[in-house]
Amino acid sequence: QLLLGSYILRLGLRSITISLAAALVLSFIIVGFTTRNFRKITSVIRNFKNGDLTTRVNIKSKSELGEFAESFNEMADTIVHNIDEIKKMDLLRRELIANVSHDLRTPISIIQGYLETVLIKSDTLSNEEKIKYLETTLDNTKRLQVLVEELFELSKLESKQITPNFEMFSLAELLQDIQQKNSLVIKSKEIDFKIDAPQNLPMINADIAMMEKVFQNLLDNSLKFTSAGGEINIKLINNINSILIKFSDTGCGIEKEELPHIFERYHKSKRVVSNQKGTGLGLAIVKKILELHEINISVESEKDKGTTFYFEIRKV
């Protein structure tokens, strides 16, 4: 019995020693693994802080360290995305300032030049020449006014300082009013302007002033790029749940590579049309107004054949 008890005691002590040794070895392994992962995470964070925005923690684990690594990677992706957006906005801001500065400088230079001419040569200029110079100055002053007004309007739309004042009105009557207001310009350009609207078209619920601006800007755009003898057509289609508007012209059309950019702020078409100048803000304003009404606008165009804009207004 003493021998048996001694054997069991030695066996137990041996088992305990082996277990402690195994536990100690396992602890070292776990600590080493954890420390290595910590060093890896620390290195990635340090590299990210020093400007390497592509570095990420490559730890695939369901442990707390794995969750921490995943959270860091998500945070890094968000930071990189925000930085990219800021860079894009800064680039757009720089381009906008450059474009606006150029468009402001041109009419200001013309105004200054003609006024200086009238002042310096007032004794030698005939009345007809003075009137011509003053009319040119007035035209450029109006151009400046339009540019400044559209810049303010687009800025307010983008910052959502303007909200639609919804009311019920007849879309067909609005288009007839726009046609009447622009009849002299349309006639002088010898363009055939048609409105195709079905009878008993239901009224729509929208901001009437904003919608008038949408159609006026689209009309200005078509008038700019449609030659004499061309056509501008507005077709209203009474669908079940909406009214589809097709605004088309037979102008010079838009290049395919240019189509995705025509609604961008301060985008100016590469289409060359003599004596036609614009701010490059008209279609951007159209898109922003329709977005405030939760309306999407699309465009189709074919070079030298014309352009068509599409959008739908939901029925009440």
Residue ranges of the domains in the chain? Answer: 2-81, 95-158, 167-314
Instruction: List pLDDT tens digits, range 7-61.
Output: 566 666 677 777 766 666 666 555 555 566 677 777 778 887 788 878 887 777 6
* pLDDT band at 306; cut points 50, 70, 90: very high
pLDDT at 33 (0 to 100)? 58
- CATH class of segment(s) 95-158: mainly alpha
d(CA 129, CA 122): 10
For residue 227, how many C-alpha atoms fall within 13 Å in the half-sphere facing its CB?
Answer: 9
CATH number, span 167-314 = 3.30.565.10
Same fold, 95-158 and 167-314: no
pLDDT at 274 (0 to 100)? 44
d(CA 180, CA 182): 5
Instruction: List pLDDT tens digits, range 142-157.
Output: 888 888 887 778 777 7
Residue 216 near residue 283, CB atoms below 8 Å: no
Instruction: Give pTM, 2 decimals.
Output: 0.64
Instruction: List pLDDT tens digits, range 212-230.
Output: 999 999 999 999 999 999 9
Q: What percent of the chain has pLDDT over 70?
A: 80
Question: What does the pLDDT average to over 192-200?
Answer: 92
Biggest CA-to-CA distance, the chain: 140
Ramachandran angles phi, psi of 201, nearest 5°: -70, 130
Most confident of 44-58, 68-82, 197-211, 258-272: 197-211
* pLDDT band at 107; cut points 50, 70, 90: confident
Question: What does the pLDDT average to over 154-183?
Answer: 88
Amino acid letter, residue 265: R
